[in-house]
């Protein structure tokens, strides 16, 4: 029997997709960057100046994450795998897409539940739920000091090339809950082929190029609407 080739759906998500799970966004009123000095807690220079502060910042993020559950928007993206070959490119460091059942998730800015050796950056380990706190004294299984597996400002984004390739192959693009303020992630949209339908769900959308369909609602409501749009027609 001939293999059925599903259309490729590429999704770019930002903090807004996890907002209804209780995870704080960065740039909204009351967001993380209003309460923490971004260049101290999220940059390479900040990590060199005060690594303990950054360990603490990400310890707090993990504590928030383990209490959170995927929401209906995460679940709807997983459900779309019935009809589409879905890849989620996420700027988020949480694991809510995976926990909702999405099979293909590419993290652009790292992953909260992982740590990386300071001496051998290719050595990445998963944290276990009973041990989510890291400090200057934390060692990986090889005895090396570790850092959060997070892409800091001033560092390269290793997954940007595979992400751009995925965008070029997309038959449909969906963008959810991002202020499109951080490059190179925000530039990915320009890799979509001309004529490919692009949908953008965000209750406070930023200006986007003509031709993009904007759904100016929260992620869960936007995904409810989008499922109806993307459902294959009989």
Query: What tokens does 97 get?
Result: 């897409």
Please list the alpha-helical segments (H only) found in the chain: 32-35, 38-41, 44-49, 51-67, 72-79, 96-100, 160-169, 219-230
Size of the site for ligand OAD (CB under 6 A): 24
**Shortest Cβ 159–ligand OAD spacing (Å):** 12
Question: Site for ligand OAD (CB under 6 A): which residue of 10, 11, 12, 20?
Answer: 20
Least distance between ligand OAD and beta carbon 4 (Å): 32
Contact with ligand OAD (CB under 6 A): which of 65, 170, 177, 226?
Answer: 177
| CA 133 – CA 119 distance, rounded (Å) | 20
CA distance 176 to 178: 6
CA distances from 39 to 34, 54, 113, 135, 209 (A): 12, 10, 22, 19, 30
State which of positions 185-204 bind ligand OAD (CB under 6 A): 202-204
Instruction: Calculate ∠ Cα 143-149-150, nearest 5°.
Output: 150
Residue number, 87 or 109, with CB nearest to ligand OAD: 109
**Residue 94 is a binding residue for ligand OAD (CB under 6 A):** no
- Residue of 23, 151, 172, 188 interacting with ligand OAD (CB under 6 A): 151
Q: Respond yes or no: is residue 149 known to be catalytic.
A: no
* Helix 219-230 × helix 72-79 angle, to 10°: 20
At residue 64, φ and ψ (nearest 5 deg) are -70, -40
Given the residues 55, 74, 107, 109, select the one marked as catalytic: 109
46 or 192: CB nearest ligand OAD: 46
Residue found under tokens 């997983």: 78
Residue of this chain nearest to ligand OAD (CB atom): 16
- One residue of 45, 63, 136, 181 binding ligand OAD per CB under 6 A: 181
Residues belonging to the active site: 109
- Which residues of this chain interact with ligand OAD, rule CB under 6 A? 14-16, 19-20, 25-28, 31, 42, 91, 109, 151, 177-179, 181-182, 202-204, 218-219
């Amino acid at each position: 029997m001939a293999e059925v080739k599903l259309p490729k759906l590429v999704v770019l998500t930002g903090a807004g997709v996890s907002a209804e799970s209780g995870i704080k966004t960065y740039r909204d009123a009351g967001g993380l960057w209003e309460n923490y000095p971004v260049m101290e807690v999220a940059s390479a220079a900040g990590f060199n100046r005060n690594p303990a502060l950054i360990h603490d910042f990400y310890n707090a993020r993990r504590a928030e994450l383990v209490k959170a559950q995927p929401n209906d928007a995460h679940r709807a993206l997983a459900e779309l795998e019935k009809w589409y070959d879905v890849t989620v490119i996420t700027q988020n460091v949480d694991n809510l897409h995976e926990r909702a059942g999405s099979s293909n998730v590419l993290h652009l800015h790292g992953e909260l539940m992982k740590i990386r050796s300071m001496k051998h950056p290719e050595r990445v380990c998963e944290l276990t739920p009973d041990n989510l706190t890291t400090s200057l004294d934390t060692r990986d299984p090889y005895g090396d000091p570790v850092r959060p597996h997070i892409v800091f400002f001033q560092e390269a984004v290793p997954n940007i090339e595979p992400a751009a390739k995925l965008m070029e192959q997309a038959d449909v693009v969906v963008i959810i809950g991002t202020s499109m303020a951080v490059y190179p992630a925000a530039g990915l949209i320009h890799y979509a082929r001309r004529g490919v339908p692009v949908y953008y769900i965000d209750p406070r959308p930023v200006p986007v190029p003509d031709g993009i369909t904007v759904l100016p609602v929260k992620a869960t409501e936007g995904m409810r609407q989008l499922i109806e749009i993307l459902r294959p027609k009989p």
